[in-house]
Structure 1
C-alpha cells in the first residue's frame, strides 16, 4: 500500500500499530481466561438447563432437593442455562471453558473501545483489569453480567461524549433490548439500571448547573433533550425488564439474595475481599494506581467517573464477587486521567518515536510481526487444547469433586436421604440425580432456614442429631478431612467408602 505525505504516513503507521497492540492485548486476555472455569455452582446451572431442554419449559419449582422440594424457584438465568446444557451435551464440559474465555475476551474488547488514552496505556490497563477480575472468572451466567456491564458502559460513555439526544434512537433500541437479555440471564441485571442511574444523575447535575448559569426556569430545564432521552431510555428498560418468568418480582430478587445472612458469614465470594490472599493483591494494585494517577495527573475528575468509582468500589469492598465489576469500571477514569501524558514526556517509547519520525513502517519488521503472531496463535491453540481436552478437564475435576465416591453410591445405592457437603451439592445434581440433595449452591432457594440447619450439623451445634433424624438421613457424603466426619464415626455412623478427598458414612447397623 502506498501512502503519500509525512502526516498520512504517520497516521497509517499509528493505525496499524494500534491494531497490533489491540489484538495482542485481547489475545493475551483470551489466553488468561481460557482455563478450567467450571466451579461448584456451574453444575446446578447445567442441571437446570438440562431439565429445561428435556422438558421444553422453564423451571419454576425445585425438583432437585428434598429440603425444598416443590418450593417455587424461578432463577433468572434460563436464557444462559439452556445453551450451557446444550453445549455440554454436544461438545462436552470443555466447551464451557472455551466459551467462557471468549466471553471474557469480548468483555474487554468493549472496555478497550470505551477507555481513553494511547494504545500502550489501554493495553496496560486492560491486562491489569483482567488480572483483577480473574478471581471470579467461572463458567456461570455471571459472565453475561460482566459482558453486558462492559457493553452498557461503552454505549453510555459514547452517548455522553456525543450527546444523548444525537444517539437517542440507538439508546432506545439497544439498551432495552440488551436489558431483555440480561434480565433473563442473571440476577446482576440490576447493574444495568445502576449504570443508567449514574449517567442520568451526571446528566441531571450538568443540566441543573447549566440552567443555573443561564438563569433558566424549571420548565425550560425539563425540556433538556439529553435528560428526556435518558428518561425514556430508563422507562423503556424498566418496562421491558418485566418480561421474565418472575415478572415485576424480579426487581426484588437481588435484594432478597443479598439479605441472606449465611451468605456473608460463610460463603467467600459474598464476603469482603481478603487482602491477605494473593488473589486480591491485583485489586490493591489497581486501587494504588487510581490514587497515584489522581494525585499526579493534574486533571479534574468528571462527575460520572467519581460516581462510577465510588459505587463500584463500595460494592467491591462489600463482596469479593463485585471486584470484577470494579475492575471493568476503574479503567475509565484512569484512562481519562492518563490521556495526554504522552505529550508531557511521561510515557514515551523511544524506539517507536524514532521509527515513526524516520518514516519506518511496521512492515519493516516482518520477522518480528510473524514471531508475535505465531506466539499468540500457538498460545491460544495450546490454551484452548488444555481447557477443552477431556482427559485434562477430568483430571482437574478429580482433584476437587467426589468422582469416585459418586460411582460408589451409584453402584451401592444405600437407603435414606443423602446429607451432602455444600461444596459438592451442585455436582451431585449433575452426576448423581438419583439422590436429591440436602443443599447446594442455590442459596436463593434454601435461604437461612435450610442453610442454618446444614451448618448446625457440620459445626456440631446443639440439635445436630435432630436435623439428621428430621430429614431421615441414611447416608452422608462430605470432605474426608472435616472434623465432623471424624466425630460422626464415633457417634453411630460407619465409614462405607473413603478416598483421598471424599468420605461416605452410613448409619451403623446394630
Structure 2
C-alpha cells in the first residue's frame, strides 16, 4: 500500500486522529478551510465545546453530593479524625464494644484523612463537596481521554452525559472515587509505553501513581493487574521488544509501589479479607446479575468497548478493559470502572468522519443545545445545594442518635453504625460496615436478631440500648417488652433503653 493510500485510510478510520482534531479531511467543506472567517469562528467554538461538555457533567457531581447515603463515609471521617489527632494509624478497634481491642487494618487511610480534613473545614457539607470534586475530576478525565483518542467534543459529551445516570449511583463519597480517577490516569500513562515514544518518566509516573493509590485505597492492586494485562497483550501482539521491556518495567514498578504502604505486602491479604467478609452480604460484591437490565447495559457497553479496542489494536485500553470485564462478572462493584474505561473508546469510535461532517453542519444548533443542557442541569441542581452533605433522612436520624445516653452499649443495625460513630463517638456500637473487622458470621447473626428471629434476649446480652429501624422485627418485639422502654424515634430509627 502506498504512503498516500495509508494516509487516506487513517483519515477515514474511526478515531484516527489521536489528538481529537476536528478538522480532519472531509470534516469541513473546502470553502471553509483555514483563513476563512467561518473556519476561524468554528475553531474558536470547538475549543470551548470540550469546556461545555465538561460543564454539563458538573451538576451531576453536585447533585450526588446533596445527600450522603453510604454508611462507610461516616466512619471513614471519624477514623480520619482519629488518625489526625493521634498522628498515627489506629491498630485496634476503638469504636465498638463487641470487637473492641481487636486488630484492625485500614484499607483507605489516606482517603479517610482527606475527608476528615474536609470535615474539619466545613463539616459534612465539606465532605460532600470533596466527593463532588472527585466526581468532576472523573468526568474531566473521561473527556480528556476521549479527545486523546480522537473523539469530537459533541460525541464525547453526549456519551458521557447519557451514561451519567448509570454511574451516578456509584459516585458516593467513598474511596472508590480514588479508583475511578487512578484507573483512567493509569491508562493514560500506559498508552505511550505501547503505542508512542516511551520515556523514563512514564515508568516513574506509574510507580508514583500506584504508591499514592494504594495509600488512598487498597484498590491499587486492580491497577497492578491492569499493567500485567497490558504487558501480556503487548507480548502477544509482538510489538517491538523495547516497548515490551518498558511494559515489564512498568509492571515491576507497579508491583513494588503497591507494597509501599503501612502494611506492606499484607495489603494483598487485607484485600482478600474484605472480599471474603463482604461476599454474600454486600450487593456490590455479588456476581453480575443477567436479569438486571442496568447491570447488563453497563456490561454490554464495556464488552463493546473491549471489542473496539482489540479491533483498533489499542493495547492499553484493551488490557484495562479485559481486566474490568473479568472483574465485573465476579463483582458488580467493578462495573462503573468498566464503563468509565469504555466511554472514551466508544466516543472515539462514534466520531466517524460522517458524524464529524454532520456535527459541523449543525454546529450552531448543537452549541445552543449544549448550553441549554448545562443551564437545565444547573437549574435542577441548584435547589439541592441548600442541603449539601445532608445524611439521608430515610436512613439516619440525628435527633434519635443524639438521644442515646452517653456511654450506653448500643445494639444497632448495620447501616446506622457508622453514623453513630461519627455523631456520637462516646457511644460504643455493636456493628457497622467494617465487615473485615467483624466477619461475615457476626454480620449475619446480628441481621437475624434485627429481623426478630432466633433468641433475641441472648442476642441483646450486654447491650443497654437498641437503635434499629422502626419496621424491623426487633423493634416490634421490644415495643411490647417491659424490660425495654422506647425513648425516641421517627421514621428512620427508634431507640430503646433497658428499664
With the length of structure 1 as denominator, give the TM-score of the two structures: 0.80
* Equivalence for 1:217: none
The equivalent residue for 1:111 is 142
- Supply the distance in 2 between the matched residues of 1:298 and 1:465 (Cα, whole angstroms): 59
Q: 1:21 aligns with which of 17, 41, 49?
A: 49
- Does the 8 A contact of 2:485 with 2:496 survive in 1? yes
Q: CA deviation at 1:468?
A: 2.1
Query: Cα distance, 1:56 vs. partner?
Result: 1.6
Which residue does 1:401 correspond to in 2?
396
In 1, Cα distance between equivalents of 2:463 and 2:326: 42
Q: Distance between the aligned counterparts of 2:368 and 2:380, measured in 1?
A: 18
Distance 1:394 1:332 in 2: 31
- For 1:502 and 1:22, the matched residues in 2 are separated by 46
For 1:123 and 1:372, locate their aligned partners in 2 and report how far apart those are by CA, in whole Å.
9
Q: Which residue of 2 aligns with 1:300?
A: 311
**8 A Cα contact 1:76 1:244, kept in partner:** no
Q: For residue 488 of structure 1, report the CA deviation from its aligned partner.
A: 3.4
For 2:263, which of 246, 249, 263 is the aligned residue? 246
User: Is the alpha carbon distance of 1:440 and 1:290 closer, same or farther for their aligned partners in structure 2, counting shifts above 3 Å?
Assistant: closer
Find out whether 1:156 has 2:190 as its counterpart. Answer: yes
Which of 126, 132, 139 is 2:160 aligned to?
126
Matches of 2:492 and 2:409, distance apart in 1: 21
Structure 1: distance between partners of 2:204 and 2:309: 38
Q: Give the structure 2 partner of residue 95 of structure 1.
A: 126
Deviation, 1:474, is 1.6
Structure 2 residue 199 is matched with structure 1 residue 168: yes
Deviation of 1:473 after TM superposition, in Å, equals: 1.2
CA shift for structure 1 position 291: 7.2
For residue 334 of structure 1, report the CA deviation from its aligned partner. Answer: 2.4
SS at match of 2:135: helix
In structure 2, distance between residues paired with 1:235 and 1:148: 18
Structure 1 residues 119 and 376 mapped into 2: Cα distance closer, same or farther (>3 Å)?
A: closer
CA contact (8 A) 2:302 2:321 kept: no
Q: In structure 2, what is the Cα distance between the partners aligned to 1:374 and 1:303?
A: 35
1:136 aligns with 2:170: yes
Which of 327, 331, 336 lines up with 1:315 in the alignment? 327
Aligned residue number for residue 7 of structure 1: 34
Residues 1:59 and 2:68 aligned together: no
CA gap of 1:416–1:495, structure 2 versus 1, over 3 A, is: same
> What residue ranges of structure 2 are gaps of 5+ in the alignment?
1-30
Structure 1 residues 54 and 465: CA distance shift in structure 2, 3 A: same
Whole-angstrom CA distance in 2 between matches of 1:348 and 1:192: 38
Q: Structure 1: 5+ residue runs without aligned partners?
A: 211-220, 356-361
Cα distance change of structure 1 residues 100 and 504 upon mapping to structure 2, 3 Å threshold: same
Q: Which residue of 1 aligns with 2:275?
A: 258
Q: What secondary structure does 2:431 align onto?
A: coil
Equivalent in the alignment of 2:283 = 268
- Where 2:486 maps in the other structure, the secondary structure is strand
Change over 3 Å in CA distance of 1:37–1:186 after alignment to 2: farther
Aligned residues: 460
Q: How far 1:422 moved relative to its partner?
A: 0.6
Contact 1:67–1:439 (CA under 8 A) maintained in structure 2? yes
Written as runs of structure 1 = structure 2, the 5 A alignment for 1:419-438 is: 419-438=411-430
RMSD: 3.3
Aligned-partner Cα distance in 2 for 1:175–1:294: 22
The corresponding residue for 2:476 is: 486
Q: CA deviation at 1:346?
A: 5.6
* Cα displacement string for residues 447-500 of structure 1 (whole angstroms, at most 9, x for unaligned residues): 12421331231234444433322xx11210000111231123345543232222
Which of the numbers 79, 84, 89 marks the counterpart of 2:115? 84
Q: Which residue of 2 aligns with 1:506?
A: 497
500 and 50 in structure 1: CA distance in 2 versus 1, 3 angstrom threshold: same
Secondary structure of residue in 2 paired with 1:423: coil
- Residue by residue over 1:250-290, the C-alpha shift from the partner in whole angstroms, topping out at 9 and shown as x without a partner, is 12222221112xx232322223456777xx63x54455556
Matched with 2:440 is 448
- Contact 1:134/1:324 (CA < 8 Å) preserved in 2? no
Between structures 1 and 2, the one with greater helix share: 1
In 2: Cα distance, 1:159 partner to 1:294 partner: 19
SS, match of residue 41 in structure 1: helix
- What SS class does the counterpart of residue 57 from structure 2 fall into? helix
